[in-house]
Amino acid sequence: MDSDDGDASVKMNHNGQWSTNTENAKSSFLEAGVRMRTGGWTLEEKTRVQKNVDRYLVKHPGLTVEDVVFSWTKDQRRGFYKKAGKGIRRPLNSIYTYMKRRYHPHNYLGSYTEEEEARLSKLYAKYGPKWTKIGRKLKRSPETVAMKYRYMEDKRKVVEKDGHIKCGHWSEEESHMLKAAMAEFHDKFSMDTPVVWDSVARRIPGKTAKQCRSFWTQTGSIKAFAQEWTAADDIKMITVLFSTEDMGDGEIPWAALQQEHWTDWTVAALKVFWQRLRAVVPGYTALVLDELLLWLYDHHLPKLQASITSPADQA
């Protein structure tokens, strides 16, 4: 049996669970005293998986991860996903899905050509949403094929409704329309309800669901408020995050922190401000959360505090 590296978070992993039922999986993790992660994979999780895979390959010279994931039989790779997922608080099927997507040989092939788009439309008309079969014929991964088709459909609906797609800069009028559409959506549903971007996009002529989501996440959710994010807000974010417990696994509990500390801001806006703040740290993309916060607290926080108490700022 492999020994782990002494990190307590390594032991709090998938518990060997294969489950396609999210609620069942959550219950299983809670029984073991572990909170299961869902949603997008963090940099820390991706780094952990890569380290686990590298460790596995060192013990099996001559192999590549593509050999194991895509060529080995189920019996040959028995136990592989448990080792690859050590330290990841997700069920094994989630680890399996991530690795199939991450290491697919037909991933990262660049933009689709017009010919590929036309062929994708024909293949969908023939096979329906059989993405694995379509992906094999296009020599693309099933996930990217499915995403590309949904985006093509998104654009087609906008063109049918408005005649064209508006690209580039959002006007003030469009920004106000999006703000009104989001306010209306949240009047009907709770703030925790995932936004139905297709529904929101119907309110903004010439914009796709993807454009609306991207603009709101990066800019609109911030402009929805009158006040500006200041150096004092950066100071507060650093001190709050630095003092928040139970973040050693790299997961920031934004929803809970928003309710306690930032009720005037959306969770999406807070995430944008955090992305800007972490980018101040040298080599931030290679660092885990604890390292980011320690650098910000030791090096950036004193500069921010000095800037808001300086005579130039008070003038």
Question: What φ, ψ does residue 212 adopt, rounded to 5°?
Answer: -65, -45
Q: Which stretches within 32-141 are classed as H helix?
A: 43-58, 65-66, 80-84, 92-102, 114-127, 131-138
Query: Is pLDDT of 7 > 70?
Result: no
For the ranges 106-120, 159-173, 174-188, 239-253, which has the lowest average pLDDT?
Answer: 239-253
Give whole-number Cα distances, 66 to 51, 63, 102, in Å.
Answer: 15, 8, 10
At residue 9, the pLDDT reads 34
Cβ–Cβ under 8 Å, residues 194 and 257: no
Closest CA to 65 of 86, 96, 44, 41: 96
Which amino acid is residue 21, in one-letter code?
N
Task: Give the integer Cα–Cα distance in Å for 132 and 130.
Answer: 6
Q: If you average pLDDT over each of 35-49, 61-75, 175-189, 208-222, which comes out highest?
A: 61-75
Task: Say if pTM beats, i.e. exceeds, 0.85.
Answer: no
Residue pair 229/273 in contact (Cβ under 8 Å)? The answer is yes
Within 8 A by CB and 6+ apart from 11, the residues are 4
Q: Which helix (H) or strand (E) holds 142?
A: helix 142-162
pLDDT of 12: 36
Task: End-to-end CA distance of the chain: give it in Å, rounded.
Answer: 66
Does the pLDDT value for residue 244 go beyond 60?
Answer: yes
What would the pLDDT profile of 280-299 be if each residue is shown by its tens digit? 999 887 777 888 888 999 99
Secondary structure letter of residue 299 according to DSSP = I
142 to 64, 73, 98, 288: CA distances (angstroms): 21, 20, 12, 30
C-beta atoms surrounding 155 within 10 Å: 15
How many CB atoms are located within 10 Å of the residue 215 CB?
Answer: 18
pLDDT tens digits for range 113-127: 899 999 999 999 999
| Of 232, 287, 285, residue with least CA distance to 261 | 232
Residue 172 has pLDDT above 60, yes or no: yes
Q: Which two tokens stand for residue 55?
A: 């460790």
Q: What is the pLDDT of residue 252?
A: 82
Where in the chain are the domains? 8-102, 114-162, 172-223, 231-314
Among 1.10.10, 3.90.550, 2.60.40, 1.10.3470, name the CATH number for the domain at 114-162: 1.10.10
What distance separates the 2 farthest-apart alpha carbons in the chain? 72
Q: pLDDT tens digit string along 21-70?
A: 566 766 777 776 667 777 677 777 888 889 999 999 998 888 888 888 88
Asked if 270 and 222 count as a contact pair (C-beta separation under 8 A), the reply is no
